[in-house]
Amino acid sequence: MGGCTSIGSSNTITRPDGNGVDFLKIYDFLEEVGRGQFAAVHKVRLHSCPSQCFAAKVMKKGVTFVDGVVHTPLSKEALSREVDILRVLEGKKNVVNLHSVFESPAKIFIVTELCAGGDLFTYLSSQRSGKISFGDLSWIGYQLLSAVDFCHAHHIMHRDIKPENIMFKHQMDQSPLKLIDFGCGCFMNKKQGGERAHSKDSDENEIEFATVFAGTPFYVAPEVFGGCYSYSADVWSIGVIMAVIMAGYPATDVQEAFDLMQEIQGRDLRNFPGMPSNLPEAYFDFLDRLLNVNANRRESTASLMKHDFTRTAHDFGTSEDSQQLLQAHGADGKKKRRPSFLDDELTQSIGRHCTYLNFLHFQTKAAVLIAASLTQAQLLKLLVVLEASTMGDLGIVTLWEVREALNSIGEVDLLEDFGQEGRTYNRYAFELAKLKNLVTNYAQVPVPKSPRNRNSTMVAGAGLGLPAAGNSAQFLNIGTEAGAKKFTKKKKFDLGGSVHGTRAFG
């Protein structure tokens, strides 16, 4: 049986709008639209006005018990920080708008505007035109830079900019973009409770640095792995996203793409896996500036908003009010396209995004099937086998390796239940963290002391997931700053969920 215990009698959130009972008096729950290890997002509507819908993020607080095992979700500080950040930003400049906050002894309810267009991959895959124009790409890039620039102006780093945290208001072309999920965010200003270190540049201007590892490794800047970074780390993450929008997520070439972006000399981003061959120079120049490996030379968001590539969007304007959208689409609702460069060169991008989105859905179904079909002992054995595989250091395995691992522990290939759909994705990168997050609901396992891992035990749900046994212990270290630094030297990374210190924000 599961249960939850309050971490204290005092509220975690300053000035909540009410408690859990108040929340239920104001809102009706509709369908669930997303779920992580310690939170679920639901579509809700107002009792008083059923046509008005919002998104409610329901977060567990305190200590959770599942089958007698202790799980520790977010700290009080982390729970309150996300709300504090949203209150400061006030939903301006492409940042999601906070509507209200409620707190019960067991949960926190964060109600924000509803983004019905879905996340980045969902939105791109849904475009009726079947194409991504450079006008569209410029518009997305400009809005994302605008959101992050506004955060930085308020001494806030997001630290987990990735496709899942970029939402769209609707599925029409040129939809307003919204940056969401500040669970890994931080205040850099000490007056706001920041976690910065002090330094000065050549002109003796004070620079604000953060030192705690946070983010989703594929999208994280090189300096974050080193444990000392500043606002420009968010700029790098935008660069990775702008590459992925054009080329598609490199599901079968993840390490190759990661290594290419981090090359110091002789790098040519035209070689990014899946990148269309004949794209304007302005795009690659923009990408090179975003993905400058030298953090001190990486341009600011304000500067990049004036780049030739984003000028189309800048000239178009950034207002999100209904009049602006009407002018963009026309009274009949048909889109008036902004000038674009080579639409025909980008027609395959939608197909790549659709394919990867389908794989993400398949990956979730496969992880749930495996976790539900095997015993706890079988799951632990499976994870040990997978972590010892060829791509173990990456935190990913191919789907084919999952099949082989199932066979090696004497179990039938459960993925055969998916038929041809499963075989289609044999070379795709399967995130081990997806399976670990499910397993942590059922087990707490001691971690043996070894040169790779000095910790004697870990609580289930900490780090990137399930503590492993034997030689697989090195996999856990990526969830710590020390482990992140070590993996950087190898130029390898763990594709697990977002990480803040030793806490995973799946």
Binding residue numbers for ATP = 57
Whether 445 and 469 have beta carbons less than 8 Å apart is answered as yes
Question: Can you tell me the distance from the alpha carbon of 499 to that of 183, in angstroms, rounded to the nearest whole number?
Answer: 10
| Bridge partners for 56 per DSSP | 42, 111
Whether 433 and 465 have beta carbons less than 8 Å apart is answered as yes
Question: Can you tell me the distance from the alpha carbon of 398 to that of 404, in angstroms, rounded to the nearest whole number?
Answer: 10
Q: Which helix (H) or strand (E) holds 148?
A: helix 134-153
What is the Rg, in whole angstroms, of the alpha carbon atoms belonging to the chain?
23
Listed as own residue / partner, the contacts of 205-208 with beta carbons closer than 8 Å and 24 or more positions apart are 208/155
What are the tokens at 333? 């609702």
CB neighbour burial string for 36-56, b if at least 16 within 10 angstroms, e if fewer: bbbbebbbbbeeeeeeebbbb
Question: Can you tell me the distance from the alpha carbon of 381 to that of 466, in angstroms, rounded to the nearest whole number?
Answer: 12
Number of other CB atoms surrounding residue 1 within 10 Å: 6
Q: CA–CA distance from 86 to each of 26, 79, 151, 181, 289 (Å)?
A: 21, 12, 10, 9, 29
Q: CA–CA distance from 278 to each of 38, 168, 285, 346 (Å)?
A: 44, 28, 14, 10
Question: Can you tell me the distance from the alpha carbon of 146 to that of 245, in angstroms, rounded to the nearest whole number?
Answer: 18
Dihedral sign, Cα of residue 257, residue 262, residue 263, residue 269:
positive
Dihedral sign, Cα of residue 26, residue 171, residue 40, residue 148:
negative
Query: In this structure, what DSSP letter does residue 389 have?
Result: S
